[in-house]
Amino acid sequence: MSSSEGPEPKKPRTSSSELQTLGKMNSLSKTDPELRYKRMGFEPTPELRAEWKRRFGKEEPHIATLILARGGSKGIPMKNNKKLGGLELIGWVIRAALDSDIMDSIWVSTDHDDIAATARRCGAQVHRRSAEVSQDTCNSWVTIDEFVRYHPEVDIIVDIQATSPCLHPFHLHDGMRLTLKDGYDSVFTVVRRHGFRWTDPKWGIQPFPLNFDPAKRPRRQEWAGEIVENGAYYMMTRDVEQQGLMQGGKMAYLVMDPEYGVDIDTDLDWEIAEQRLFRFGYHGRTPKTVKLVVVNIDGTLLDGQVQVSPTGEELRSFKTTDIVGVQQLQENGIEFRVVAEGDNEVQRALADKLSAKLEENCTDKLTVIDAWRQELGLEWKDIGYMGYDISDMTCIKKAGMSACPSDAYAAIQKHSHFISTYRGGQGALREFCEQILKDEEKMGTYADVTERIFEDFPKLWSASPTRKARTRSLSQSQSTAGSDVPSI
């Protein structure tokens, strides 16, 4: 493999005995080669296999995804394990890697127990990184290098950043096709931007433009813009990594459409990313479709508080927007039902207003909902459930889409797919209803998108000049040191 000279690799100062304490490699199961190449849209020829034998020492190179997710993130504490759109941040990219069907192994490199538990639950294996490569001063390459030294079987590393929740499997297919079929040693993702850049004035020096002439200021449509890394992923061969690089050898970049790119560094970014995710994120091959919504009325539709009047009458309150949310569900053909642990006139009046079946004095919610499920001919994946207290736990865990208000019991929040930004009885149910309807709206086109990606990829590639045009190769003599790539 032809590659440029790189700097002497800076190895992490971790002793052999310390490395032994990090744990043994998990057993790996290679993906189906036939399926892999179908996803990427080409069939390996004898000539290609001979080239792979030369490059990697084997005819079937081992491809490993590595997601760097330390517990010490600064801008947003523990952001890698924080729920975004109902799923932990690392869960989105793990899902994309799993569903790409081209990875032999998928790993999360972390130093934190909670992140490790989430990674395993989402289907990834865990590399327990050493404390030495988990410091704020460590760059990404140092952490990748520690992983690579553990896994001599790995030939191609796909470093996916957890902060890229809108990554889709087809983005990975495109990049890996460049690596395997077209012979690139490193591939990274970029976006095209049209910003006019200026120097940062210091010591009284006047700023001057860096990428345009103010006397000939171009219109956007007259300027192709600039290519900027978005950090969604960095693919590299083992040979490039061993040079201390994440980008080197024969390089190419893949231009991602802007809707798939998000930056998550502050709390404000988080809210923006969540809205982008609802519309453009990858929600799996078969996204959840809810056909029955059940709520524990106390703490969700009602605010969970009881006021007693001077005459001894019990008063409960609710927010009318929650009622509107339920009515929108019903207008879209989604059944709505209610369970309650007690009985009172308010909940009966609300259920009657909504024409919703109500089960009062319900001590076994799971059994009641399961009976409703069978009555309607549904599976548990078709059921949405919103609860707020520990008594809702079994239903929260069982439902295909579970939710809770922002003031729900901590354990309920931990197991819910969706956590509202509102309190119970104060708009939480309306927000949950809107989330369900957003998913339903996406389903109108999602099946077509999934079919395009997974079934018709070869035809799509050959017929799409724009997709080809978005891929550019870089000079073989260029390389970028891994230390210049921001650490996660």
CB 103 within 8 A of CB 31: yes
CB 216 within 8 A of CB 190: no
**Is position 121 annotated as part of the catalytic site?**
no
State the CB neighbour count (10 A cutoff) for residue 90: 27
Q: Please, where are the H alpha helices in 101-154? A: 113-122, 140-150
Q: 353 exposed, middle or buried (CB, 10 Å; 0-12, 13-18, 19+)?
A: exposed
Q: How many helices (H) and strands (E) does the chain have?
A: 17, 20
Task: Give the single-character DSSP code of 221.
Answer: G
Question: How are beta strands 418-419 and 314-315 bridged, if at all?
Answer: unpaired
Rounded to 10 deg, the angle between the 169-180 and 33-40 helix axes is 100
Q: What is the distance between the alpha carbons of residues 118 and 120, in angstroms, rounded to a whole number?
A: 5
Q: What are phi and psi of 449, to 5 degrees?
A: -65, -45
3-state SS assignment for residue 166: coil
* Cα–Cα–Cα angle for 472, 475, 479, rounded to 5 degrees: 105
Paired tokens of 216:
């000939």
CA 59 to chain centre: 31
Catalytic choice (120, 217, 279, 472): 217
Question: How are beta strands 245-247 and 480-481 bridged, if at all?
Answer: antiparallel
Paired tokens of 89:
């941040």
Task: Give the single-character DSSP code of 83.
Answer: E
CA 144 to chain centre: 20
Smallest CA-to-CA distance from 410 within 398, 419, 399, 402 is with 419
Please give the helix or strand (H or E) that residue 39 lies within, else none: helix 33-40
Q: Output the CA–CA distances (angstroms, integers) from residue 290 to 149, 284, 321, 363, 439, in the order listed.
A: 45, 15, 20, 24, 9
Q: What is the distance between the alpha carbons of residues 304 and 318, in angstroms, rounded to a whole number?
A: 9
* Length, in residues, of the chain: 488
Q: Output the CA–CA distances (angstroms, integers) from residue 83 to 89, 178, 185, in the order listed.
A: 6, 33, 34
Q: What is the distance between the alpha carbons of residues 59 and 45, in angstroms, rounded to a whole number?
A: 11
Question: Which residues are marked as active site?
Answer: 217
